[in-house]
Structure 1
């Protein structure tokens, strides 16, 4: 997504639902940036969790000044 690499991921819970997460990476010159975002919300399907992760990754990388954690 632009100058960032966003990698969405899903994880199946013991209860059969799915968790969403994504990582954002950027390398520029001598510096690099990598951050992982994990969410507490669970989803009924792998596809729903993946769509959420992709959407959150897009929002994070499209903001001019993303919030700090």
Structure 2
């Protein structure tokens, strides 16, 4: 069983977290971070190694990591 969360638009990115049920009722987290349009679309997928007790926790974890990844790329470069 997969639990999708409504995609979140963050600037030029579309964040789509996913929780997938594993054995023993635990959930794995992953997230897609998409940018661009048409043939210039880029999709980064992150899969996390930890397991969570419920889908909501897995979705929250995946979303927070995606937002952190986006924030890192939004910081000005050091001179």
> With structure 1 as the length reference, what TM-score do the two structures score?
0.83
Asked whether 1:63 is paired with 2:59, we answer no
Cα separation, 1, equivalents of 2:17 and 2:40: 23
2:20 aligned to which of 11, 18, 42 = 11
Q: How does 1:1-69 map to 2 (within 5 A)?
A: 1-27=10-36, 31-64=40-73
Q: Structure 1 regions of 5+ residues with no counterpart? A: none
Alignment RMSD? 1.7
> How many matched pairs?
65
Q: CA deviation at 1:31?
A: 2.2
Larger Rg: 2
Q: Structure 2 regions of 5+ residues with no counterpart? A: 1-9, 75-79
> With structure 2 as the length reference, what TM-score do the two structures score?
0.74
Q: 1:11 to 1:29 in 2, by over 3 A?
A: closer
Q: Which has the higher contact order (CA 8 A, sep 6+)?
A: 1
Greater share of helix? 2
